[in-house]
Amino acid sequence: MAKTGITLTRRGLGAMLAVGLLAGGLAGCGNSDTGGDGDSGSSGGGNGKLVIGFSQVGAESGWRTANTNSIKESAAEAGYELKFDDAQGKQENQIKAIRNFIQQKVDVIAFSPVVESGWDTVLKEAKDAKIPVILTDRAVDSADKSLYKTFIGSDFVKEGRLAGEWLVKEKSAATGPVNIVELQGTTGSAPANDRKKGFAEAIAANPNLKVVASQSGDFTRAGGKQVMEQFLKANPKIDVLFAHNDDMGLGALEAITAAGKTPGKDITIITIDAVKDGMQALADGKFNFIAECSPLLGPQLMDLAKKVKAGEEVPARVETEETTFTQEQAKAALPNRKY
Ligand code: AHR
């Protein structure tokens, strides 16, 4: 405790200690007493600040960059110390980062799991070390829900369903087959699994709508372009592209244009995310519809981190609010789009 220069009675000192402990608990400063990387092995570091270890998937898309910025800015605004690790798309790097955070005794571990499976062992290690874990953006498939405190992020199945429902309406007059190609996100990731599922469920309403090819473009522009080139070579008639994110859709635009087709006209394009570049393509008539996925999870994550560290109850699931955009709606929304 900082020296006050005030002489205290025993009762006064007791009261002050109690207030200090309570404030410390609420602020979640816990056992932190080292700055920097906490290599002392005795605490998370952070000079009394709440210390959060965050393992990010990577930097595969515009969405991911906006998500990273939101988390870094929100931690700085809240006055928390953020130990940020970029896993470069690899689960083994995330597991290594989480083990480092445990060793450093951070107050809270948060991460966006690159894939859904294979987390139980490391999550159990965090639980045994009494470090609360928050899942952000993507879920894990662990049966033991006590391995993490809460999951904050989008409903990916709903996003896929919204994309499919729009297509069902758009093609309601079709009398023959409508050939759809699908660019999936990273194999094994929650958004790829769930968006595929939601979309398939929705388009089942019209038997004319058929997915004729579906492959992963790993959520990147380069992946989207490369896989779309293959789709175009192998499928003489493609009516619709459903891309699991804007970046893959933007990569695919290049392949479609190079193949002499007009995106948004010859091929109807539906994507997910609604980052600025995607919204621009939609406003320009190159995309036809976007289901939004918000990356701005930072402020809620900081709030949840503070609460779990203080031992407060938090909801098991915090769902992000999202909308959808047509070309006209994108034109109206673009000037105020933050990411
Ligand atoms: O998990 C969210 C997804 O990951 C975004 O939709 C995609 O752009 C990102 O890479």
**Same domain for 134 and 205?**
no
d(CA 264, CA 14): 70
Q: What is the pLDDT of residues 54-70, one digit of tens each?
A: 999 999 999 999 999 99
**Same domain for 276 and 308?**
no
What is the band of 8 on the pLDDT scale with cuts at 50, 70, 90?
Answer: very low
d(CA 227, CA 212): 14
Pick the closest to residue 53 from 103, 92, 90 (CA basis).
Answer: 103
Q: Is residue 191 part of a domain?
A: yes
Q: Is residue 339 part of a domain?
A: no
Q: Is residue 24 part of a domain?
A: no
Give the distance between the most distant pair of CA atoms in the chain: 88
Q: Tokens at residue 189, please?
A: 């990731």
**Same domain for 54 and 126?**
yes
From the CB of residue 6, how many other CB atoms can be counted at a distance below 10 Å? Answer: 7
What does pLDDT average to over the chain?
89
User: Helix, strand, or coil here: 161?
Assistant: helix
Q: Check pLDDT > 90 for residue 15.
A: no
**Same domain for 282 and 174?**
yes
Q: What is the pLDDT of residues 224-251, one digit of tens each?
A: 999 999 999 999 999 999 999 999 999 9
Q: Is residue 118 part of a domain?
A: yes
d(CA 158, CA 240): 20
Q: Is 149 in the pocket of ligand 1 (CB under 6 A)?
A: no
What is the band of 5 on the pLDDT scale with cuts at 50, 70, 90?
Answer: very low
Q: Is residue 175 part of a domain?
A: yes
Q: Is residue 215 part of a domain?
A: yes
Q: Is residue 337 part of a domain?
A: no
Report how far ligand 1's centroid is from the alpha carbon of 191 (Å): 7
d(CA 328, CA 330): 5
Q: Is 64 in the pocket of ligand 1 (CB under 6 A)?
A: yes
Q: Is 227 in the pocket of ligand 1 (CB under 6 A)?
A: no
**Same domain for 231 and 302?**
no
Q: Is residue 245 part of a domain?
A: yes
Q: Is 159 in the pocket of ligand 1 (CB under 6 A)?
A: no
Please state the atom number of ligand 1 nearest to the C-alpha of residue 112: 1
Side chain identity, residue 194: D
Report how far ligand 1's centroid is from the alpha carbon of 64 (Å): 6
Domain that holds residue 47: 32-154+295-320
**Same domain for 241 and 124?**
no
Query: What sign for the dihedral angle of Cα 43, 45, 49, 53?
Result: negative
Report how far ligand 1's centroid is from the alpha carbon of 16 (Å): 47
**Same domain for 76 and 41?**
yes
**Same domain for 288 and 171?**
yes
**Same domain for 286 and 310?**
no
d(CA 279, CA 38): 42
Q: Is 293 in the pocket of ligand 1 (CB under 6 A)?
A: yes
Residues in the chain: 339
Q: Is 138 in the pocket of ligand 1 (CB under 6 A)?
A: yes
Side chain identity, residue 163: A
Q: Is 191 in the pocket of ligand 1 (CB under 6 A)?
A: yes
**Same domain for 81 and 98?**
yes
With tokens 């602020």, the residue in question is 27
CA 127-149-157 angle, 5° bins: 125
Q: Is 156 in the pocket of ligand 1 (CB under 6 A)?
A: no
Contacts of 91 (CB under 8 A, 6+ apart): 113, 114, 115, 118
Q: What is the pLDDT of residues 96-107, one digit of tens each?
A: 999 999 999 999
Q: Check pLDDT > 50 for residue 95.
A: yes
Report how far ligand 1's centroid is from the alpha carbon of 218 (Å): 10
**Same domain for 71 and 183?**
no
The CATH number that applies at residue 230 is 3.40.50.2300
Report how far ligand 1's centroid is from the alpha carbon of 178 (Å): 27
Number of domains in the chain: 2
Residue range 294-303: mean pLDDT, rounded: 98
**Same domain for 37 and 147?**
yes
Q: What is the pLDDT of residues 73-86, one digit of tens each?
A: 999 999 999 999 99
User: Domain boundary at 293, 309, 331, which?
Assistant: 293
Q: What is the pLDDT of residues 178-191, one digit of tens each?
A: 999 999 999 999 99
Alpha helices in 28-90 (DSSP H): 62-78
CA 203-207-211 angle, 5° bins: 60
Residue by residue, DSSP assigns 252-305 as: HHHHHHHTT--BTTTBEEEEEE--HHHHHHHHTTS--EEEE-----HHHHHHHH
Q: What is the pLDDT of residue 45?
A: 55
Q: Is 195 in the pocket of ligand 1 (CB under 6 A)?
A: no
**Percent of the chain topping pLDDT 90:** 86
